[in-house]
Structure 1
Amino acid sequence: IDKIGADILRLWVASSDYTDDLRIGPEILKTFVETYRRLRNSLRWMIGALHYYNSAPMQTLDLSNLPILERFVLHRLAELDGGIRNAYKTYQYRYVISALSEFMNSDLSSFYFDIRKDALYCESYSSEKRLAALYTISEIFDRCVVWLAPVLCFTAEEAWLHRYPSKTGSVHLQDLPEQKADWLAPDIANKFDKILRVRRVVTGALEIERREKRIGSSLEAYPEIYITDSELRDAFDGLNVAEILITSGAKLRKDQAPAYAFTMLDSPGISVVPMLAEGKKCARSWRIVDDVGSDPNFPDLSARDAAAVREFDSLSDNLK
């Protein structure tokens, strides 16, 4: 306990199969140190993102007005809610830790948070996309901390009191958050199953470009994506493809892919030709777009970022 802390030891206990002989040792505990670190880092990132968030304007939120990405994440959160409630009722603590780790690492850190960093850091203060992301992150945080509290007692308490220092008291006095049946959206989940299949192939293609030092980050890329299945292509209808892929641009094509296109054996019908994005690099968002310098007062910024900076400047002036 002196070396790794009580919460990591509790994490090992909760993740162990109590119907079998328990195994413990330095190497086993090392894996739980890493699991704990990832969970804690996700909580820390959410606390930072929510620092200036005011939930009052979102109390009358119409769910149908949320971007589809937020609808998908809330669907996953609602699915997880049911599984975790049942796991605690039946003493399946291993499921709680496994499901939460998978959700926070795969669905959040490497997908949702990664995509929404641009909206959180670069959109204007009043941006509906930014506010929707903050609302969603707040809902995620409130649930994940309460779900983790029976296992990671001290970490959950620390995170909760950082977020709510004087409002609600200890996390251990909180009830499980209300279940939200209206968050469930299987049609949106089915749509994102297709989107994630395509995204995985694009990510594979861009990793090679990075490794070969043809690009530094995915924002330097403009992938052309050849998709033979019309249902896969249609899954992107109404979406900003580049935003989902975290590139500066992207193009979906239905014609035959060239022979040199990147493919994956387990994803037939999806081919990617990575290209360099054309335009100028925005000094604020690092996106490479055509409208950098369109605002003479901000020659290094895109039109979106220039408008955001102007709004922040206006807000700062009003506070003086």
Structure 2
Amino acid sequence: MDVWFDSGTSWAQLDKREDGSVADMIFEGSDQHRGWFQSLLLTHLSGQTGTADAPVGAIVTHGFTLDQAGRKMSKSLGNVISPEEIISGTIIPPAKTKKGTKVVPRVTQTKKDPMGPDALRLWVASSDYTKDVVIGQPVLQAVHSSLHKYRTTFKWLLGIMHDYPAPLPVEDFMKELYFADQVALHQLSKTAAEVWKHYAAYEFHKGVQALNKFINADLSGFYFEVIKDRLYAEDEEVRRHTQTVLFIIMEELCHMLGPITPHLIEEVWQHIPEQWHQYDVMNINRRTWEYPFSAEFDSFKAEGAMDKVIKVFNTVSTAVKAAQENARRAGRLGSGLACRVELQMPRETGSVCLALLSDLRSTDELAELFVVSEADMVPDDPDFRRKIAEQEPDEELRATLLEPEEPPAWKFECEFECGDENAPATGKAVVLPPNGEKCIRCWQFTSDEPDSLCGRCVDVVGDEVGLDEEMLEAAEQEDDLAKYR
């Protein structure tokens, strides 16, 4: 029997489905356009008497695998890389060791740190297989780094979620979010929709790119840094609220990574908190990802509104970070908590930027978002600030508006655009020394005295151990706070 006729009639082994063709998709090299793909189509069409249709819903072709020099793999060249080399990790050189330590032998090291089958799957999913694909140590090291990032992200999430009582929907939860939560869930929603779209189109490498951007920039680069203080230093209600957001993120990450790194996701769900099992939390690998997560917020319902607000916030945040870096280069600043931020805004602007910063100021979220001890927004006109201060009944707010009698020990500034297209304006991010002392519990510089608790931590510790304010003050005077920290 002719080999092309034999392979081309493989469609006859399957029954045609009512909802479509015999097969959803066939996958082969580009050289099969004149081979198997053609024989499948011709033999199937020749056997039909009614409306002609193809035996497959889609044809996907792939290129060839090349070494890192761009050469076709060949036994004679000795450049063939086997899947087992990727899984075992022998293709990756030993990790660098600290000076003075013994170098780990290659064989021993690969036994301790194999890349695993998920690395092979992730390399395939990360590659644009419609073209010739290059493989070598640099490519595989990048894949290994991504896989390691996924693992450390899940490890951190599981550690934070160990005492989360119930992964159940919370009524009206989406109406009670901090701005950072809204940003994280909005970016998660966009990423999930993008990954869903690319997976459906067999464009897995684009889905992986979107995932990596979300994990590195939106989670590690922003959200995780912002919420650490909430998780470690705030009261139980705030911690539970934040854990609910993290549960949504973790579950959707599992959905997105499940088809690519199933072994990692299986391991994640083997380590979920024990108390979750009573709520029938099924393994992600054993249920269908029916639709991507979607987030909508009442305050940003207009199309593109949330993206515009995030862009405005990022502009301000970038200016704050630039001013902080200038302070670090000058040897004035170490930790970001060891400073306060003053956002000086022009009086005449009525922009989205001013509206956003005003809202964040009213909810006391500015310091959290910039990961500093204190942050405030003030007019850039000193005379106008004095007039406002005279009318301000709150003594603390009045102090933030008035210029200090003595200039600060140091000050670093960076300008940012804060107007709209039709009314450009410029604001200024000013980084200054903190007003308070370092709190021994949360490490923010908001304590009145050295080596003591700030006001917030006094309240939280009192609630946790059942001490009233007088008892806490007595314990602080006796230097007996260690057991409550």
Note if 1:155 corresponds to 2:264: yes
Note if 1:312 corresponds to 2:464: yes
The correspondence of residues 220-235 of structure 1 with structure 2, limited to 5 A, is 220-228=338-346, 230-231=350-351, 232-235=353-356
Comparing 75-84 and 198-207, the one that deviates more: 75-84
| Counterpart residue number, 1:173 | 286
Cα deviations across residues 238-262 of structure 1 (Å, max 9, x unaligned)? 21211110111123244279xx853
Note if 1:262 corresponds to 2:348: no
Q: What is the SS of the residue equivalent to 1:281?
A: coil
Q: Distance in 1 between matches of 2:458 and 2:169?
A: 26
| Counterpart residue number, 2:212 | 101
Amino acid of the structure 1 residue aligned with 2:250: F
Q: 1:52 aligns with which of 160, 163, 180?
A: 163
How far is 1:314 from its partner? Answer: 4.0
Q: What is the SS of the residue equivalent to 2:163?
A: coil
| Counterpart residue number, 1:243 | 368
Q: Normalising to structure 1: TM-score of the pair?
A: 0.86
Amino acid of the structure 2 residue aligned with 1:2: S
Note if 1:124 corresponds to 2:210: no
Q: Distance in 2 between matches of 1:86 and 1:264?
A: 39
Q: Distance in 2 between matches of 1:177 and 1:206?
A: 44
Q: Distance in 2 between matches of 1:41 and 1:209?
A: 31
Note if 1:206 corresponds to 2:324: yes
| Counterpart residue number, 1:91 | 202
Amino acid of the structure 1 residue aligned with 2:125: A
The correspondence of residues 292-303 of structure 1 with structure 2, limited to 5 A, is 300-303=452-455
Unaligned segments of structure 2, at least 5 residues: 1-86, 90-114, 383-410, 419-424, 468-485
Q: What is the SS of the residue equivalent to 1:117?
A: helix
How far is 1:51 from its partner? Answer: 0.8
| Counterpart residue number, 1:318 | none
| 265 and 126 in structure 1: CA distance in 2 versus 1, 3 angstrom threshold | closer
Question: Which of the pair is proportionally richer in helix?
Answer: 1
Identity %: 26
Q: 2:436 aligns with which of 279, 291, 311?
A: 279
| 265 and 20 in structure 1: CA distance in 2 versus 1, 3 angstrom threshold | farther
How far is 1:43 from its partner? Answer: 1.3
Question: Which of the pair is proportionally richer in strand?
Answer: 2
How far is 1:111 from its partner? Answer: 0.6
State the superposition RMSD in angstroms.
2.7
Comparing 98-107 and 53-62, the one that deviates more: 53-62
Q: Distance in 1 between matches of 2:333 and 2:209?
A: 35
Q: What is the SS of the residue equivalent to 2:250?
A: helix
Q: Normalising to structure 2: TM-score of the pair?
A: 0.58
The correspondence of residues 65-76 of structure 1 with structure 2, limited to 5 A, is 65-76=176-187
Q: Distance in 1 between matches of 2:243 and 2:327?
A: 32
Cα deviations across residues 128-177 of structure 1 (Å, max 9, x unaligned)? xx222111100000010121011112111111221266544543112216
| 54 and 61 in structure 1: CA distance in 2 versus 1, 3 angstrom threshold | farther
Q: Distance in 2 between matches of 1:72 and 1:164?
A: 27
Q: Distance in 1 between matches of 2:149 and 2:168?
A: 31
Q: Is the 8 A contact 1:201 1:270 kept in 2?
A: no
Q: How many residues align?
A: 306
Q: Is the 8 A contact 2:193 2:293 kept in 1?
A: no
How far is 1:60 from its partner? Answer: 2.2
Q: Distance in 2 between matches of 1:221 and 1:305?
A: 19
Comparing 161-170 and 110-119, the one that deviates more: 161-170
| 14 and 291 in structure 1: CA distance in 2 versus 1, 3 angstrom threshold | same
How far is 1:33 from its partner? Answer: 1.6
| 62 and 224 in structure 1: CA distance in 2 versus 1, 3 angstrom threshold | closer
How far is 1:307 from its partner? Answer: 1.7
Q: What is the SS of the residue equivalent to 2:334?
A: coil
Note if 1:79 corresponds to 2:79: no
Q: Is the 8 A contact 2:447 2:455 kept in 1?
A: no
Q: Distance in 2 between matches of 1:202 and 1:287?
A: 17
| 43 and 292 in structure 1: CA distance in 2 versus 1, 3 angstrom threshold | farther
| 177 and 308 in structure 1: CA distance in 2 versus 1, 3 angstrom threshold | farther
How far is 1:72 from its partner? Answer: 2.4
How far is 1:2 from its partner? Answer: 0.8
| Counterpart residue number, 1:289 | 446
Note if 1:135 corresponds to 2:248: no
Q: Distance in 2 between matches of 1:67 and 1:221?
A: 23
Cα deviations across residues 103-140 of structure 1 (Å, max 9, x unaligned)? 1111111111100000000001133xx22211110000
Unaligned segments of structure 1, at least 5 residues: 294-298, 316-320
Cα deviations across residues 245-294 of structure 1 (Å, max 9, x unaligned)? 0111123244279xx8533799982433321101111111111115568x
| 120 and 88 in structure 1: CA distance in 2 versus 1, 3 angstrom threshold | same
| 117 and 14 in structure 1: CA distance in 2 versus 1, 3 angstrom threshold | same
Q: Distance in 1 between matches of 2:203 and 2:326?
A: 41
Amino acid of the structure 2 residue aligned with 1:219: L
Comparing 133-142 and 174-183, the one that deviates more: 174-183
| 181 and 300 in structure 1: CA distance in 2 versus 1, 3 angstrom threshold | same
Q: Distance in 1 between matches of 2:124 and 2:294?
A: 32
How far is 1:181 from its partner? Answer: 4.3
